[in-house]
Amino acid sequence: MTIFNNSILRANFENGDYPNCIILGDGGYGVRHYFFTPLLNPHTQEEQLYNEAHIRTRNVIERTFGVCKRRFPVLAYGCRLKKETVLSIIIACAVLHNIARQMGEDEPPLPADINQHELQRLIEDGQIPEVNVIDNQRRGSEIRRNFITNFFGNL
C-alpha cells in the first residue's frame, strides 16, 4: 500500500477539497478525477500535446526523486518500519535535501551498485491498484479528456 493511498491529501482530493487542482502520475496509478496519467495511445494533436506536457512536467519531479534516492539510499531501497516512522524519515530526507541544495551541495553521483534502470524501477515501485478502480478510472478518464480538450485543443 502506498503512502499516498493512506494520506490526508488523497482524502482531501477524494472529498473534492481541491476542485481546481490535479496531480500528475504515471500509469502505475489509475486515472482519477484529480489524478491524471499519460494517455497510452494519443491519437489527436491535442492528446499528443497533453502527453508531451505531462512528460516534461513529470520529468522534473522524477529527477528530484532520483536525486533524493541517491542522496538517501533508504528512500531507494525501502525500509520495513511503522508507517509513522517511514513518514518521519521521508520528511527528514526532504528537509535535509532542501538544506543541502541551499548550501550548494553537489548532487550525489549514481552509486556503482544501482544502475539507471534499477533506480527507475525503484522510483516507480510500490503502486497498488485500489478497490473501485474501474468506476474511478472511467470518471477520471472523462475528466482528463475534458481537460485535454479545454487546455490543449486550441494550441
* Each residue's pLDDT tens digit, 16-61: 999 999 999 887 778 889 999 999 889 999 999 999 999 899 888 8
Number of domains in the chain: 1
User: In this predicted model, what pLDDT tens digit does every residue of 55-102 receive, in sequence order?
Assistant: 899 888 888 888 998 899 888 887 888 888 888 999 999 999 999 999
Tell me, yes or no, if the pTM score tops 0.85.
no
- pLDDT of the residue at 26: 82
Which domain covers residue 77, as residue numbers? 4-152
> Is residue 27 a contact partner of residue 128, using CB atoms and an 8 Å limit?
no
Please give the radius of gyration of the chain, using alpha carbons only, rounded to the nearest integer.
Answer: 17
- The residue-averaged pLDDT of 1-27 equals 87
DSSP E strand stretches across 25-130: 35-36
Phi, psi of 5 (to 5 degrees): -60, -25
List beta partners, residue 23: 35
3-state SS class at 80: coil
Crossing angle between the packed helical segments 116-124 and 45-71, to the nearest 10 degrees: 100
